[in-house]
Chains A and B, each alone.
Chain A
């Protein structure tokens, strides 16, 4: 089973520290100061703020991932314990955005330019920037694990891995058995 990160809306204070941490954790170089970063901020987690609810939303790493199932170029694949976008294959068709039931998929503008496609602007035309599907990768390779979990001042995140899930199921099953027993008395 895949591991995933999920936030608790009852604990979330809406500070967006997770979004910043996510964007910083996915930079190719170490950057400390805000101004040292010269490109758009691209987090893979999105804070939802609506009346009565505040919560960051990110990929659930679905076992039968709808995003992967609809991808026409097989750019989304199962890898170890997660669903991963191979951005070098992605054509930016956005089928995954439509398919995802959580709204966890985004399109992210990249630094590199496309080889052929151009966009017209007031200076004539320039090569269009590459745009690819973009989602939570559980901070692959990061020693401290997912950055959002580490940074949250409200401790609103939970890393749900198969072991934790199975243990939780066992506890709940036991509780329901005890419940039946006490109910019969």
Chain B
């Protein structure tokens, strides 16, 4: 949940300028309130807020109290700002010290190109190896990766799109990996819910797989497994807590940490992140492709889906794996790709407020496209509400563009760049899931939505 500290907020209302859903209410100059029915938990307000608790202000409740209220570790030294996110770092610390728990962790793509910033590294530093090493040092039993689940999501979502196109299903299809976007559809456009892909987000797919396939691979009881997700996002905790996200028989994801919270844990454990030797993620669910990795930037899901969809339909290699026409910045991008004898019309939206005219068109039956990717944050997850908070406003754009460069650099340098070529994905379908959209996939990897109006 996103909250605004009533003692600290001065009512400058700059948060309102970045809120995509007008959820911040209050008079200019007075403390603001968040309308949680409207709020999609994107955390952009947390990123922009510059009102903090001064060390010399004696009229406010003590720092220790605020730390408690926010669920922060007591070791956190950074200034406390008015707009904040209620985290779960304490729970993670507790769970890591419990020897009866078998911990499996996953990291979203955008975490590895931002977390270094929390340790004074250059903006956008690419540190997957240090990230894996830090997680192992923290004591996680299995270091898995959301990127693997992103590859899995492409298999399911790509197949779903092909099925919808070939069987006259509901079109256009919308991506469903951004939980803030999903909540927005549920509350503002419930009549368009059938357009959302039934695929769970990579976080939730990973969670469901950890407690089934993962538990089986390691020979542990699913009830002993604690599944933790590290996300650049302040809405992923909300998603993990949705009542339906328990297809493994337990909560699929038990705890969600933001990039910032993981940095707190690493600091509290006295780990020097910058000098860590690079390590790898664990097999089987830490093996990923460039396609899974680019989910962290706007257009990434679409590009990954096209890389795979093209080859599954035409049975030919895609002419150029770098689909520059899909990449870009905030706003709406339209493109089309010819796949066999089908011309697929695609739309990519970065920044939730830009989607409204498109949704109105869909509602009016005037949509002229097949597939739409929507990310709530301005440039996708790399600019998420749970990412390192950049203090100097002039550096914010530089931070996000550097993270974006790193995400594509990582993709370029990975040997396998198409989700369907991930060897562990092939194995998981062969040994466990069967086939995309099959019975087991349907049970574990797909979900339903609820109208909130």
Contacts and interface: CB of A to CB of B under 8 A. Distances in A.
Interface of A: 13-17, 19-21, 24, 29, 31-42, 46-47, 49, 54, 106, 150-151, 153
Contact of B50 (A15, A33, A54): A15
B10 A20 contact: no
Contacts of A49: 10
Nearest to A13: B12
B28 A35 contact: no
A40 B264 CA distance: 16
B388 A32 contact: yes
B354 to A, nearest CB: 22
Interface in B1-50: 10-14, 28-29, 50
Contacts of A106: 56
A46 B56 CA distance: 10
Given A17-B393, A54-B29, A36 B14 contact: no
Interface in B237-259: none
Contact of B78 (A13, A19, A34): A34
B50 A35 contact: no
24 contacts: A13-B13, A14-B29, A15-B14, A15-B50, A16-B10, A16-B50, A16-B51, A17-B393, A19-B50, A19-B52, A20-B392, A21-B393, A24-B391, A31-B120, A32-B123, A33-B389, A34-B388, A35-B76, A41-B52, A42-B55, A47-B10, A106-B56, A150-B394, A151-B394
Contacts of B11: 14
B260 interface: yes
A37 B78 contact: yes
A134 B93 CA distance: 38
B55 A41 contact: yes
Interface of B: 10-14, 28-29, 50-52, 54-56, 76-79, 81, 117-120, 123, 260, 263-264, 267, 388-395, 399
A15 B123 CA distance: 25
A33 B78 CA distance: 10
Nearest to B12: A15
B272 to A, nearest CB: 13
Given A16-B50, A20-B52, A32 B10 contact: no
Given A33-B120, A36-B120, A151-B394, 9 more contacts: A15-B10, A16-B52, A20-B50, A20-B391, A21-B393, A32-B123, A33-B391, A41-B54, A151-B393
B274 to A, nearest CB: 11
A14 B390 contact: no
**Chain A CB within 10 A, most for which of B81, B390, B391:** B391
Nearest to B387: A33
A54 B52 contact: no
Contacts of A37: 77-79, 391
Contact of A35 (B52, B54, B389): B389
Contacts, number: 99
A21 B395 CA distance: 11
A49 to B, nearest CB: 6
A40 B78 CA distance: 8
A76 to B, nearest CB: 21
**Chain B CB within 10 A, most for which of A34, A40, A46:** A34
B391 A32 contact: yes
Given A31-B391, A32-B388, A13 B28 contact: yes
A153 B395 CA distance: 15
A116 to B, nearest CB: 25
Given A17-B50, A41-B79, A54-B29, A35 B10 contact: no
Contact of B10 (A14, A24, A34, A39): A14
Nearest to A42: B55
B118 A36 contact: yes
A113 to B, nearest CB: 18
B336 to A, nearest CB: 39
Nearest to A17: B50
Contacts of B50: 15-17, 19-20
A150 B388 CA distance: 22
A35 B388 CA distance: 8
B392 A24 contact: yes
A151 B81 CA distance: 17
Nearest to B14: A15
Contacts of B56: 106
A151 B395 CA distance: 11
Contacts of B260: 35
Contact of A36 (B12, B119, B399): B119
Closest 7 CB pairs of A and B: A15-B12, A33-B388, A14-B10, A13-B12, A34-B389, A17-B50, A33-B117
Contacts of A41: 52, 54-55, 79
**Chain A CB within 10 A, most for which of B13, B51, B76, B267:** B51
